[in-house]
Amino acid sequence: MDMSEEKEEEYGIVIVGGGICGLATALALHRKGIKSVVLERSESVRASGAAIAILANGWRALHSLGVASSLRLTALPLQGGREVSLDKGLTKKIPLGIGETRCLKRSDLVNALADSLPPGTIKFGCQVVSVKLPPRTSHPILQLLDGRSIVTKIVIGCDGSNSVIADCLGLKHAREFSLSAVRGLTNYPNGHAFPFEGVRMRRNNTIVGRVPIHHKLVYWFVIQRSSSSAKDVKASEDPEIIRQLAVKSAVNDFPAELKQMIEDSDLESLSLTRLRYRAPWDLLMANFRQGTVTVAGDAMHVMGPFLGQGGSAGLEDAVVLGRCLAGKLGGVDGAKYGRPEVMKKVAEGMDEYVKERRMRVVRLSTQTYLTGLLFQPDPSLLVKVVCIVLMAVLFRDPMNHVRYDCGTL
């Protein structure tokens, strides 16, 4: 069925964005017997960013979604981590917390989620550019880039840091760290000799990380001072320029094996992005629900990669939102979603979701923000002292975030 026919349909639940959180949310609802539609702007399942670390709390969420066992077959567990200061010649261990930590290819994760959904759930080539909330019907109208409109009853925005749905809710725009990240994958056909640990090396305000996925595949990243120059804008669109930028600008002063790893990387896996975040104080007061519209994942709480919790937090959102909505919609025929009494229940379920998630994401974002300030190029002594004191006061156990359990569906 083409979209010209679907234009006249009224969907019950629409999830905007077919990334990790959007697919996970659709799967959570599906596991509870609730049908939804995912609108994805690309023409296929997308997996930008090469790979993603999933800590123990993320694996609990994946287990609830029913995909943990299959994903464990794609990546080996990490045994620990190290942080190396090449300037000072110092090395310290990085705790991974309790439970398992693995680094997954993003394509493996999104494909596992997408393949678990009923056929036809994902509608490709549907880029939402605006949302209207008519006061009389309270039924959101989604305007697509090509001029088509979709009328729905419930909207869940999982459309990333530049979220159209977040804008509709009046959330403040995501802010930018003065850092950018190059990410990629390198395949070793004959196997690599790296230990199964995450390694972060730092020199002259540049950080290079390396994380094995399995015996033949390694994920790596380069974090450095960002620039808005025309060269960087062009680089963000050209994989070969991204690779050369990482090699020449970032790792010339690093061990030769790292430079070789980047030179041998898979061009299709490369990306260059500016690191963004929602300020913790904005999250504390933000309105995450209007009518039957809410947000999840990066659209709600985009954060830097410094704790490795962005993806896992989005998976937690999906489980909690699925549970809260199912508690209100269980047994309700989708054709009745537009009725006022049902919409009241949906709003109550979304409020429960927001209440349960707010302080969790505020704490995660605060810890990530403070850690990110210490990664900023040349932080002042005052900034360092304030961040260290706040971390000691607010996060006495720096790995406590891994112990969090979002519960089951």
pLDDT tens for 235-293 read: 567 888 899 888 876 677 888 899 999 999 999 999 999 999 999 999 999 999 999 99
Contact 13, 117 (CB under 8 A): no
Pairwise CA distance, residues 174 & 192, whole Å: 38
Asked whether the predicted pLDDT for residue 229 surpasses 70, the reply is no
Q: Any idea how long the chain is?
A: 409
Helix (H, G, I), strand (E, B) or coil at 274: strand
Q: Which residues contact 163 (CB under 8 A, 6 or more apart)?
A: 16, 17, 157, 171, 295, 298, 299
Handedness of CA 334, 339, 345, 347 (dihedral sign): positive
* Token couple for 19: 């990334």
b (16+ CB within 10 A) / e for 242-259: bbebbbebbbeebeeebb
Both structure tokens of 308: 């490795």
If residue 52 lies in a helix (H) or strand (E), which one and from where to where?
strand 51-54
CATH 3.50.50.60 segments of the chain: 3-76+103-174+278-403
Q: Is the pLDDT of residue 1 over 60?
A: no
pLDDT at 231: 54
Structure tokens at 21: 């959180």
Give the pLDDT score at 69.
Answer: 98
Residues 6+ apart with CB under 8 A from 157: 16, 17, 163, 164, 165, 166, 168, 169, 293, 294, 295, 296, 299, 300
**What's the pLDDT at 232?**
56
Average pLDDT in the 218-242 region? 77
**What CA–CA distance (Å, rounded) separates 324 from 312?**
18
CA 42 to chain centre: 17
Class of domain 3-76+103-174+278-403: alpha beta
Q: Is the pLDDT of residue 298 over 80?
A: yes
What's the burial of 204, exposed, middle or buried (CB within 10 Å: 0-12/13-18/19+)? middle
**Tokens 């000799």, residue located:** 193
Return the percentage of the chain with pLDDT > 70, whole number: 94
Question: How many angstroms separate the CA atoms of 395 and 23, rounded?
Answer: 32
Residue whose structure tokens are 């994989």? 239
Residue extent(s) of CATH 3.30.9.30 domains in the chain: 176-274
Q: Which residue from 293, 134, 128, 260 is spatially nearest to 188, judged by alpha carbons? A: 260
Out of 249-253, 388-392, 401-405, which region has the weakest mean confidence (pLDDT)? 249-253
409 touches 324 (CB < 8 A): no
With vertex at residue 154, the alpha carbon angle to CA 152 and CA 158, rounded to the nearest 5 degrees, is 105
How does the average pLDDT of the chain come out, rounded? 91
Global confidence as pTM:
0.94
132 C-beta neighbours (distance < 10 Å), count: 12
DSSP 3-state of 208: strand
| Residue 2 pLDDT class (50, 70, 90 cuts) | very low
Proportion of the chain in helix, strand, coil states, percent, rounded to 5: 40, 25, 35
Average pLDDT in the 103-122 region? 97
Which pLDDT score, from 0 to 100, does residue 249 have? Answer: 65
The residue whose two tokens read 């930018």 is 176
CA 69 to chain centre: 21
Please give the angle made by the CA atoms of 127, 128 and 134, to the nearest 5 degrees: 160
Indicate whether 222 pLDDT > 90: yes
Q: Which CATH number is 176-274 given?
A: 3.30.9.30
